[in-house]
Amino acid sequence: MPPIAASFLAGTSYLEVNGQAFPLASCTPPDIVWDVIETPSSPQARRLGPPHAGTLTIRFSPPSMPPLSKWVEELAGEQVNQHDLVVLQTDQDGKVRDSLELKGCLLIGLRFPACSATGKDAYLVEAVFMPERMAAGPVGGIVRSAAPGRVKKWVSSNFSVSVPGLPSARINQVGPIGISRKLSSERIDRHGRPEMPGARDYQPLELTVVGPDCTVWRNAALDRVARGPHDDSAEITLELRDTSLKNVLATFIIGVIGMSRFKSAASGGTEGLPTVGACFEVSSLRLKLN
């Protein structure tokens, strides 16, 4: 296989899914790895084992990647699907100058960026796939993007949060939302790779509150301390909005089992206001795109 990593460092990249090409903000193609195997009969002797692919990491704007909602459903629902993907690199005229075919890919991670009321960053999602095999693909054709024509970019500062039973208007930061699929070591194939992925794992959800609501949140945490072990299952809603803050672009429904950590108020926070942080353990995730 010819070298591939360097060819994807510049230009326009696309991910082809089911024959449709969607633009990427960035792409890190898989490494090719040969394991080093120790020979039991001679500790000093080593040899190279069979090659295998590393992980494909892509970043993209949600409006340009319609398969995203299906990926969330797949990963959060513990579905195990294999995807045949193609990473395409084009010149400024849309002509393919490099392509990489990735067969039997397992989706093993999705990461949604943090939201901050003072941030200006574009809202870019990261997806990680593990391919079963890969090969160089054909070049020379013209890529026609399947993404919607004119869409507004999402910005990480335009959001609204709702937490049942607690004031939410002064939540000014929401930590990253992450979901990954652990690789089980119980079933190993002849190449030393997991045959099937393990259970999913959610990144805890961190919320930052500023201003007078801090006291209410602290008292709620103290009430949980007084109650001891508790079950506070609930659904936290995160809405991503356009620049007018009137139109909802997407909605996350985040199931939580309760507050697992609380950071007490401190002075010197945002604009000198008191600030507290609350962390919730996530149990489920749904995404609705408008």
Residue 188 has a pLDDT of 47
More confident position, 196 or 74? 74
Cβ contact 146:22 at 8 Å: yes
Distance CA 224, CA 232 (A): 9
Instruction: Kindly state the percentage of the chain with pLDDT values over 90.
Output: 63
* Count of positions (residues) in the chain: 290
- For 120, residues 6+ apart whose C-beta sits below 8 A from its C-beta are 155, 156, 157
pLDDT band at 78 (very low <50, low <70, confident <90, very high): confident
Please determine, for residue 236, whether its predicted confidence score (pLDDT) is greater than 80. Answer: yes
Is 160 exposed, middle or buried (CB count within 10 Å of its CB: 0-12, 13-18, 19+)? Answer: middle
pLDDT band at 1 (very low <50, low <70, confident <90, very high): very low
The tens digit of pLDDT for each residue in 256-283 reads 999 999 998 655 555 668 899 999 999 9
Query: Which candidate, 216, 230, 227, 219, places its Cα nearest to that of 259?
Result: 230
Please determine, for residue 187, whether its predicted confidence score (pLDDT) is greater than 50. Answer: no
Residue 6 has a pLDDT of 37
Please determine, for residue 185, whether its predicted confidence score (pLDDT) is greater than 60. Answer: no
Q: Residue 258 corresponds to which tokens in the numbers above? A: 């309760």
Distance CA 12, CA 18 (A): 19
Residue 273 has a pLDDT of 80
Residue 43 has a pLDDT of 64
Please determine, for residue 96, whether its predicted confidence score (pLDDT) is greater than 90. Answer: yes
The tens digit of pLDDT for each residue in 138-176 reads 999 899 888 877 777 899 999 999 999 999 999 999 999
Distance CA 133, CA 37 (A): 21
- C-alpha dihedral sign at 5, 112, 23, 11: negative
pLDDT band at 11 (very low <50, low <70, confident <90, very high): low
The pTM of this model reads 0.85
Hey, how many other C-beta atoms are within 10 angstroms of the C-beta on 109?
19
- For 66, residues 6+ apart whose C-beta sits below 8 A from its C-beta are 22, 146, 147, 148
Instruction: Kindly state the percentage of the chain with pLDDT values over 70.
Output: 87
For residue 75, the surrounding DSSP H or E stretch is helix 68-76
Torsions phi, psi for 9 (to 5 deg)? -80, -20
Q: How far is CA 152 from CA 1, 63, 143, 148, 248, in A?
A: 39, 8, 22, 10, 12
Mean pLDDT, rounded, for 116-130: 93
Mean pLDDT, rounded, for 241-266: 90
176 by DSSP, 3-state: which?
coil
Residues 69, 72, 76: CA angle, nearest 5 degrees:
150
More confident position, 158 or 192? 158
Query: Which candidate, 169, 282, 273, 165, places its Cα nearest to that of 221?
Result: 165
Query: Which residues is 116 bridged to in the sheet?
Result: 173
Mean pLDDT, rounded, for 63-80: 91
70 by DSSP, 3-state: which?
helix
Q: Residue 246 corresponds to which tokens in the numbers above? A: 């009137």
Residue 2 has a pLDDT of 36
Q: How far is CA 136 from CA 1, 69, 179, 272, in A?
A: 7, 29, 30, 55
The tens digit of pLDDT for each residue in 99-117 reads 999 999 999 999 999 999 9
- Residue that the structure tokens 């067969």 belong to: 103
For residue 231, the surrounding DSSP H or E stretch is none
Quote the DSSP letter at residue 66: T
Averaged pLDDT score across all residues of the chain: 86
Query: Which residues is 111 bridged to in the sheet?
Result: 126, 178
Q: Residue 80 corresponds to which tokens in the numbers above? A: 């195990």
